[in-house]
């Protein structure tokens, strides 16, 4: 990733788990950059040909790709960038046709055809159809204005144009080659991402099926042993086997719940109810629910809340699920006798929650994958606890619904710290 790409979309790409979305964001950035570069080329040409009208128009128009880049920088919907790029292409084509000759207009009007391909990839066929219809109306309108001499047929010296037409075609040819190159790269990256997602999902589902089969098989064996122990009158041993069955059933239920919840997150953001509530009591209540689980591994959970009167607009059930998943992970990957530290802090713009453990940590090669759906970063806990590879994906998805962010700082064999930042209203 180039420094300029890192500046505009690096943070956004790092916070996006969907591989296809990452490809689309990257393509939007590159296309906006192409248009900005085109403006930078047209400006000196306008000065060279002494065309102040085109110069002023191009300088004004160059603000559009700048806004497109800034919208990507500040995490606005990339569809807004697509809209700005479409507006730029239409205005530049119409503007050049208005200020220049018909022969130059034909060259300029070829560019929106490329834009149509770009829009089709990013936003789908409906958006492309709308763009093509508007483009066709613009072409028709300009043609009628020329027929009725509203716009002169030759408003620029054709001799000058003859000298520059070859260069213009060469210039647009270069940009066309660059576009096709990045479009092909983006399309291939999208295909690879989808194939990797399918392969990863198949691998994780295979692991899940294997774990469920082992749990069910173990439960069946325990039932048979319980029958034998009861016949022998050894109720103490029978109770031990019952506890094993209970643990296996709970592990299986966790796996099933994770799979069902990850599937339901696709459209959940459209039907979420938010309430304004004190956030610290919600967090502390969730912690109390997980203390018995932590005690089984002799793990202590310490809460150090600040600004306990902080009020946020949240979905309480989702917040419980977020904190619960992070606590469950901290317990799962902490050694017996470990400690989990939870702190809350309010700043001017954010409310921060940190969950820190001194467990086994996350290997460097897995850090970038822990928030992916069906991630290969899912591992067995220190006491053999099962993992679906969905827990962190669920956390990230629920935080996205709240427009909150999460980051991780971890060192293998030392521990892990997750930091959540909720935006404050106003």
Low-confidence ranges of the chain (pLDDT < 50): 102-103, 106, 154-159, 161-162
Task: Assess whether 119 and 229 both reside in one domain.
Answer: no
**Sign of the CA dihedral 136, 140, 141, 145?**
positive
Query: What pLDDT, on the 0 to 100 scale, is given for residue 341?
Result: 95
Domain final residue pick, 175, 197, 219 = 197
Query: What pLDDT, on the 0 to 100 scale, is given for residue 251?
Result: 66
Task: Assess whether 281 and 342 both reside in one domain.
Answer: yes
Query: What pLDDT, on the 0 to 100 scale, is given for residue 316?
Result: 87
With CA atoms as reference, report the closest residue to 323 among 308, 339, 346, 342. Answer: 342
Task: Assess whether 257 and 191 both reside in one domain.
Answer: no
Task: Assess whether 223 and 345 both reside in one domain.
Answer: no
Task: Assess whether 239 and 327 both reside in one domain.
Answer: no
Per DSSP (E only), the strands in 157-299 are 275-278
Residue 46 structural domain: 3-197
Q: Give the SS3 label for residue 166.
A: helix
Asked if 57 and 99 touch (Cβ cutoff 8 Å), the reply is yes
pLDDT in tens, 344-374: 999 888 999 999 999 888 888 877 778 776 5
Task: Assess whether 176 and 246 both reside in one domain.
Answer: no
Task: Assess whether 215 and 355 both reside in one domain.
Answer: no
Domain final residue pick, 197, 214, 241 = 197
Query: What pLDDT, on the 0 to 100 scale, is given for residue 395?
Result: 86
With CA atoms as reference, report the closest residue to 389 among 218, 254, 219, 290. Answer: 254
DSSP 6: I
The CATH number linked to 409 is 3.30.565.10
Phi and psi at residue 271, to the nearest 5°? -135, 40
Domain final residue pick, 168, 197, 226 = 197
Q: Is 377 exposed, middle or buried (0-12, 13-18, 19+ CB in 10 A)?
A: middle
Task: Assess whether 115 and 79 both reside in one domain.
Answer: yes
Query: What pLDDT, on the 0 to 100 scale, is given for residue 157?
Result: 47
Per DSSP (E only), the strands in 254-388 are 275-278, 300-305, 311-314, 339-346, 350-357
Q: How many domains, the chain?
A: 3
Q: CA 378 to CA 362: how far, in whole Å? A: 10
**pTM score > 0.75 for this model?**
no
Task: Assess whether 15 and 101 both reside in one domain.
Answer: yes
Q: CA 146 to CA 163: how far, in whole Å? A: 23
Q: CA 26 to CA 166: how far, in whole Å? A: 31
Task: Assess whether 124 and 144 both reside in one domain.
Answer: yes
Query: What pLDDT, on the 0 to 100 scale, is given for residue 63?
Result: 85
DSSP 369: G
Task: Assess whether 384 and 343 both reside in one domain.
Answer: yes
Task: Assess whether 15 and 121 both reside in one domain.
Answer: yes
Query: What pLDDT, on the 0 to 100 scale, is given for residue 158?
Result: 47
């Amino acid at each position: 990733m180039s420094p300029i790409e890192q500046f505009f979309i690096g943070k956004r790409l790092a916070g996006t788990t969907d591989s296809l979305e990452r490809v689309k964001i990257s393509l939007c950035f590159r296309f906006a950059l192409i248009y900005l570069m085109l403006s930078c080329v047209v400006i000196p040409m306008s000065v060279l040909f002494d065309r102040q009208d085109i110069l002023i128009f191009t300088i004004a128009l160059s603000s559009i790709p700048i806004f497109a880049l800034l919208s990507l920088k500040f995490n606005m919907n990339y569809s807004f960038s697509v809209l700005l790029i479409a507006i730029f292409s239409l205005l530049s084509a119409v503007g050049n046709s208005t200020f220049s000759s018909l022969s130059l207009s034909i060259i300029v009007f070829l560019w929106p055809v490329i834009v149509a391909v770009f829009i089709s990839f990013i936003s789908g066929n409906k958006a492309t159809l709308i763009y093509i219809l508007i483009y066709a109306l613009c072409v028709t309108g300009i043609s009628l204005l020329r027929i009725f001499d509203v716009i002169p047929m030759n408003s620029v010296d054709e001799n000058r144009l003859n000298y520059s037409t070859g260069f213009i075609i060469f210039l647009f040819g270069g940009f066309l080659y660059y576009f096709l190159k990045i479009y092909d790269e983006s399309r291939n990256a999208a295909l690879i991402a989808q194939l990797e997602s399918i392969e990863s999902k198949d691998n994780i589902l295979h692991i899940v099926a294997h774990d469920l089969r082992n749990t069910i098989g173990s439960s069946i064996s325990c039932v048979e042993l319980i029958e034998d122990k009861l016949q022998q009158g050894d109720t103490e041993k029978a109770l031990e086997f019952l506890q094993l069955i209970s643990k296996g059933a709970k592990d299986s239920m966790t796996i099933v719940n994770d799979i069902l919840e990850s599937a339901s997150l696709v459209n959940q953001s459209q039907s979420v109810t938010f309430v304004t509530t004190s956030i610290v009591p919600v967090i502390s209540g969730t912690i109390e629910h997980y203390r018995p689980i932590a005690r089984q591994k002799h793990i202590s959970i310490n809460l150090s809340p600040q600004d306990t009167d902080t009020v946020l607009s949240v979905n309480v059930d989702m917040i419980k699920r977020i904190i619960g998943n992070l606590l469950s992970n901290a317990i799962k990957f902490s050694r017996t006798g470990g400690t989990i530290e939870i702190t809350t802090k309010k700043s001017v713009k954010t409310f921060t929650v940190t969950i820190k453990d001194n467990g086994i940590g996350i290997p460097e090669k897995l850090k970038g994958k822990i928030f992916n759906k069906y991630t290969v970063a899912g591992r067995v806990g220190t006491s053999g606890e099962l993992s679906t590879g969905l827990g962190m994906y669920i956390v990230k998805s629920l935080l996205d619904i709240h427009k909150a962010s999460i980051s991780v700082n971890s060192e293998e064999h030392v521990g892990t710290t997750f930091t959540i930042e909720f935006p404050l209203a106003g």
